[in-house]
Structure 1
Amino acid sequence: MINWERVGPALWQATLETVYMVSASMALALVLGIPLGVLLLLTAPDGLTPRRVVSSVVGAIVNMGRSVPFIVLLVLVAPITRLVTGTTIGSTATIVPLTIAAVPFFARLVEAALREVHPGKVEAARAMGASTGQIVRAVLLPEARPGLIAAATVTLIALISYSAMAGAIGGGGLGDFAIRYGYQRFDTAVTVACVVVLLIMVQLLQSAGDRLARRLAHR
């Protein structure tokens, strides 16, 4: 039986830390991932401004970032994390590896969403003399909004999973709470409570993302 007077406040604090980590890293992923996804699309061999070398280099970097398991990435980027935040533990420090993991992941999803825009709309804009920047701003990004919302939803859910894994090395949040209060104290009920909170967060985000994507698709 969980002693909620003792565990409840700590569980709430851990939940807030998870929300903080995921929100901050997602905001950075949006700022960095959307331009990177656009760059991947534009410089591809079939893009608006093909650049084989740029496409190959950027694509390779993105693929490398996506292929490293997050638990390994936590260790690899520890020097960068310490340089940026002054420490490698805690919720603020965890934002650094979360962002590094999220940006390439989200960028590929952005590229895929932009590719779903009907080529005829792009060609029509080009025929009217629109520049590449104007096509991106006025055609590609607005038309791809449902796909971009879906991509952001998938990335948010992945970040929740990553943030839980960060608890293995003192990253704060629900993962850290489950390890310290559940696993290390042999209290399965606490671990289950953390899992339930994570499941609720994922379900709420997925439902909200799906609803918003459908609404934008019908406009």
Structure 2
Amino acid sequence: MTDTVPHPASVRELLFGEDVEAAAESLVDAAREHEVAAILERGAQGLTDNAGRTVEREVASVVNGFLSLDLLDLVAAGWAKHGAMVEAARRTRAAPDTEEVVALATHQVTSTHRPCVDLRVDGVRVGTLEIGLTVAFDVEGMLAVVRQAHLMSLRCGTCTTTGTLAMQERVVASRHCNLDLPGAMRFRSGIALLPARDQAPHGDPA
């Protein structure tokens, strides 16, 4: 069954739902099952069981914090790299008094992250836990307004999202849902579509 997640929604909510405590416990279990104990056993001889569990909870806390990434921020960052949006940004940079409406049909935005968590005991690194996160957005029917090389507003049709979290290349959580994006969004200061060095002077529209 495909779920619907209201906006705003973080990656954590996408993968584990709105119960923060349940999400934290799921991550502790995942840390325990996906190599943390084995890494500690290989690299930290004599570590007590209680100390090992403390490390597992700290690792889960670090991953939990990373999952606070906002879904709208991720998809907006992907739009900033879309070829049609970049071309519109270049044209409106050259003609600051103009704006363009960019129509995007069905397209996908993928955000991939591969952070690592170093495990240290008494200041000595005993191993590294590799994290893999992929969030894919399939968007249909989007209209975007570009002015002075900035994304100023957009109107979305539908958006389905798939998130996958892995530890040591083994999947910990995966979920597919309908992302309830606002029908129309306005960005007061705009989202830059070109590198800072290429931006035209840009005001703060109402």
TM-score for both structures, normalised by structure 2: 0.33
**Higher helix share goes to which structure?**
1
**Higher strand share goes to which structure?**
2
TM-score for both structures, normalised by structure 1: 0.31
